[in-house]
Structure 1
Amino acid sequence: MPTSFCGTWDIISNVNFEGYMIALGIKTPLRKIALKLKQRKVIEQQGDLYIIKTISSFRNYTISFKIDQMFEEYTKGLDERVVKSVVSWQGNKLVCEQIGEKRNRGWAHWMEGDKLHLELYCEGEVCKQVFKRKKPTEKL
């Protein structure tokens, strides 16, 4: 059985986020804002439906999917593209392939100890983020 990533997670490190955003074609003013934000992930599972919410004080993004089922994803608020996405379990990693005008685009989530890891990749750029589980009394 795959690991459950369900919970609320706060970002603790964010390496090469700007390089990843440049690869996506995100303009400089938006990149400057995004680099200053503290992200929070809320991951839920309702039956076979997964919901991942990325929350910040500037903009929120929600994705929902079923494992191994391709779906159309509009990356509203990110790079404003429509991609075909499919998420699958590869060992202990939850891996998403996003097919569209950008090459080698997607992400992977996995856990190591009590940390949630996320790699975002696009056209050779890789952003590595690490999150810690939020305690019930902590605020963003």
Structure 2
Amino acid sequence: MCRDVVTPSPESYDVTRRAPAYWKYVNVALRKIVCMLKPTKEIIHDPETGAMKINTITTFKNFSMDFNIGKEFTEDLRIVDGRTCQTTVDWDGDKLVCVQRGEKEGRGWTHWLEGDKLHLEMRVQGVAAKQVFKKAE
């Protein structure tokens, strides 16, 4: 069982805010709140079973995503942005890639590590927003 806790780096928010086309798919009030948050991510992985859990912890809302690598599941994102979708998360080399099938084309995200930084790229309809997290001490 592996467990890492990471927090956003300061440059993370500037990069995310510079992707207004991505945010047009998120309700205006939620968009303003999200840009002020400093989430902590906790990633728990059991390599033997393929089970993974990603907790996103904020002062506004917490979100937990439980899944098995390579297995499609119904993801309930109503707490995040009011939708549900069919989701598959799998490894692509050293990157964790999520594909979300639902109301918008090309929706999903990719996580990868570079040194002590966890990168997150969120995508929808060809538009991307990025965040960078630094491993907690």
TM-score, scaled relative to structure 2: 0.88
Query: Take 1:21 and 1:54, find their aligned partners in 2: how far apart are those partners?
Result: 19
Bigger mean CA offset, 13-22 vs 63-72: 13-22
Structure number with the bigger relative contact order (C-alpha 8 A, sep ≥ 6) is: 1
Partner of 1:10: 7
* RMSD across aligned positions (CA): 1.7
Which of 52, 56, 59 aligns to 1:57? It is 59
Contact 1:88/1:96 (<8 A) preserved: yes
Contact 1:72/1:83 (<8 A) preserved: yes
Q: Structure 1 runs of 4+ off > 6 angstroms?
A: none
Partner of 1:86: 88
Contact 1:61/1:76 (<8 A) preserved: no
Amino acid corresponding to residue 80 of structure 2 in structure 1 = L
What is the CA distance between 1:5 and its match in structure 2?
Answer: 7.4
Q: Give the structure with the higher percent helix.
A: 2
Partner of 2:28: 28
Contact 1:68/1:86 (<8 A) preserved: yes
Question: How many pairs align?
Answer: 130
Gaps of 5+ in 1: 136-140
Q: Deviations over 1:15-39 (max 9, x none)?
A: 23563232x3x22111111111101
Q: Secondary structure at the match of 2:80?
A: coil
Q: Deviations over 1:57-96 (max 9, x none)?
A: 0011110111110000011222111100001110110000
What is the CA distance between 1:45 and its match in structure 2?
Answer: 1.6
Contact 1:9/1:131 (<8 A) preserved: yes
Gaps of 5+ in 2: none
TM-score, scaled relative to structure 1: 0.86
Contact 2:99/2:109 (<8 A) preserved: yes
